[in-house]
Amino acid sequence: MNSMKKQKKRIKDESQTTSRKQDHVELVVSQQVSHRSVSAGFEHLRFVHNAIPEIALSDVDTSTEFLGKHLDVPILISSMTGGYKDAERINRALAAMSAKYGAAMGIGSARQAFENKIYHNSFKVARKENPLGLIFSNIGAVEVARLAKEKKVGTIKMIIDLLEADALIVHLNPLQELMQPEGIADFRGVLAGIELCAKKLGIPIIAKEVGAGISKDAAKRLIEAGVRVIDVAGAGGTSWAGVEILRQKKKDRAKLEPFWDWGIPTLDSLTQVRELRETMTFGIIASGGIRNGVDIAKTIALGADLTGIAKPFITSFMNDGEKALDRTAEDLVTQLKYSMFLTGSKNLTELAKQPLRQF
């Protein structure tokens, strides 16, 4: 009987994970789930226009190196999906785009891959489409803590091998777990689990929030635990609290509404985390509400190494297909190049030194 109960629970858990992943994509694409009264903050900053840049547009070089690999652009296609039927089609298109433009790519949480093999191709397709690219696997902090407590951190290597991943993203989502109908609001042991992953897995660990930002103090503790890269993923873009509130029963939504806009705006989070570079060495990814190439340029000028973008890509692809996805990527890269030209920046090193003024 106990065996039968365990099997039924496993099947139910698998079904919930798969359904949740599909819900997430559909809600982000079809509903207004952005933060309502919080912006990422970049609209308050402007570059100092250079009326005599003394360079040609053709001089502009957007390339960079990150975690030992060359990228043509400082863009991360942020983790979005995986683990359900349509995810393979989505990730194939995103990975093909990452290969074409020389961008990095993160895959959605691979928790479902632990449960069964049925959707493994929805993760593996990224490496097939971009064999030489910079690709990150992804797992939730709660899952990391659980596996660490059970002394099974080594099993995470399965999702790393599945993608031939260059790094592992551990996403930190206490707010999302609180708002989620089936969420697990227990973050005990997360830091110890991350530290164990950093020691045992043999690849860089990236700590990423999912829209509520990372403070200076939290980033310091993560880096001391062995994290190599902080993805601030601040408030101002998609509210994952909002997404989960919409997944709740209508009668339960009102009490959760005050948390829709909870979080540290991306600009504030990036500014806090950057201060740690005075004494610590680590990479920074800026994400959360980045919507155009000018914003990308601003994050580089503020100390980010890469800029993570998700919603503009997923909405253009889901609504209008691969040609629209390609146009979105091309527009972002063009806007970044134009921003560099207009500040007289031949490369990202020069862009990183450009002053920004608050208006």
State the maximum Cα–Cα separation within the chain, in Å, rounded to a whole number: 78
Is residue 6 included in any domain, yes or no?
no
234 within domain boundaries: yes
9 has pLDDT over 50: no
257 domain residue, yes or no: yes
Q: Domain total for the chain?
A: 1
Please name every residue paired with 206 in a beta bridge, in sequence order, or none if there are none. 169, 229
Under the banding of pLDDT at 50, 70 and 90, the label for residue 6 is very low
CA dihedral 323, 326, 331, 337 (to 10 degrees): -150
- Nearest CA-CA partner of 24 in 184, 182, 259: 182
Q: DSSP string spanning 76-133?
A: EE-----SSTTHHHHHHHHHHHHHHHT-EEEPPP-HHHHH-STTTHHHHHHHHH-TTS
pLDDT at 21: 78
Asked, for residue 44, whether it belongs to a domain, the answer is yes
The yes-or-no verdict on residue 147 having pLDDT over 60 is: yes
Provide the residue type at 152 as one letter. Answer: K
Contacts of 7 (CB under 8 A, 6+ apart): none
- Better pLDDT: 25 or 106: 106
Residue 90 has pLDDT above 70, yes or no: yes
Handedness of CA 220, 231, 106, 149 (dihedral sign): positive
Q: What is the pLDDT of residues 273-318, one digit of tens each?
A: 999 999 999 999 999 999 999 999 999 999 999 999 999 999 999 9
pLDDT band at 15 (very low <50, low <70, confident <90, very high): low
Residue 327 corresponds to which amino acid? R
* Percent of the chain at pLDDT exceeding 70: 96
Distance CA 101, CA 166 (A): 18
Whether 334 is covered by a domain: the verdict is yes
**E strand or H helix at 15, and its extent?**
helix 2-30
Cβ-proximal residues to 16 (8 Å cutoff; 6+ apart), any chain: 182
Interval 347-358: pLDDT, tens: 999 999 999 999
Domain annotation covers residue 1: no
Q: Enter the pTM of the model.
A: 0.93
Alpha-helical regions (H) of 102-237: 111-115, 121-129, 141-149, 157-163, 174-179, 190-200, 216-224
CA distance 158 to 177: 24
Q: What CATH number does residue 15 fall under? A: 3.20.20.70
CA dist 172 and 153 (Å) reads 17
| 351: containing domain | 11-358
pLDDT averaged over every residue in the chain: 94
Instruction: Give the single-character DSSP code of 59.
Output: G
Query: Residues for the chain: how many in total?
Result: 359
Instruction: State yes or no: pLDDT of 12 exceeds 60.
Output: no
Q: Is the pLDDT reported for residue 17 higher than 80?
A: no
Tens of pLDDT, residue by residue over 53-64, are 999 999 999 999
- The Cα 33–Cα 242 span in angstroms is 6
Q: Which two tokens stand for residue 139?
A: 């797992």
Spatial CB neighbours of 30, under 8 Å, sequence gap ≥ 6 = none
